[in-house]
Amino acid sequence: MSASSPPAPATSPVSAAITALRAAGESGDADAVAKLLASDVVFHSPLTTRVRFEGKEEVAALHRDIFAVLEDLHTTEPLALGDTRAFSFHARVRGVELEAINLVRFNDQGQIVEIKIFIRPLPGLATLFATLPPRVSARRRGRLLGALVASLTRPLALVLHTADRLAPRFL
């Protein structure tokens, strides 16, 4: 008598999509991310509430910029609640460590409709703030505006790095 193994559980479109998203992030593959996006996707900037990236093309282009500045990205297993998945990732930007939580909401077809990212610690966030917005500005509005954004963000990053090193000594 042969024993048959139980049937493998069916993978939901959302489960398959989150697995593909994590793999695309770890390999830095913005084209693979683009395949997962709904046409009306919204990406909320982790750096300011004043900026949202909307639409498949813009969010895919943003991921090209993100993957160009992040190094050694590794993700964790996702947490699930309804149509939303949350997972963390660790990476470096210009050699500075950062960690983030991604909240990703999906539609019934397993397409990403919304992304929110929360980043810490302060030195990692500051370095990302000095690196990513100038790149995005240059892509969207031209190199001159990208240079202007860089001139605004780099001093702030220096101040935040310094505060991170000095403030804990006084706590």
pTM: 0.85
Contact 26, 73 (CB under 8 A): yes
- What DSSP designation does 168 have? G
Domain over 13-170 is classified CATH 3.40.50.170: no
**How far is CA 152 from its chain centroid?**
22
Q: What is the CA radius of gyration of the chain?
A: 19
Is residue 92 over pLDDT 50?
yes
Q: Return all residues near 94 (Cβ < 8 A) that are at least 6 apart.
A: 69, 127, 131
pLDDT tens string 113-125: 999 999 999 899 9
* Higher-confidence position of 48 and 19: 19
- In the predicted model, is pLDDT for residue 144 greater than 60? yes
SS3 content of the chain, % helix, strand, coil (to 5): 50, 30, 25
CA distance 152 to 52: 20
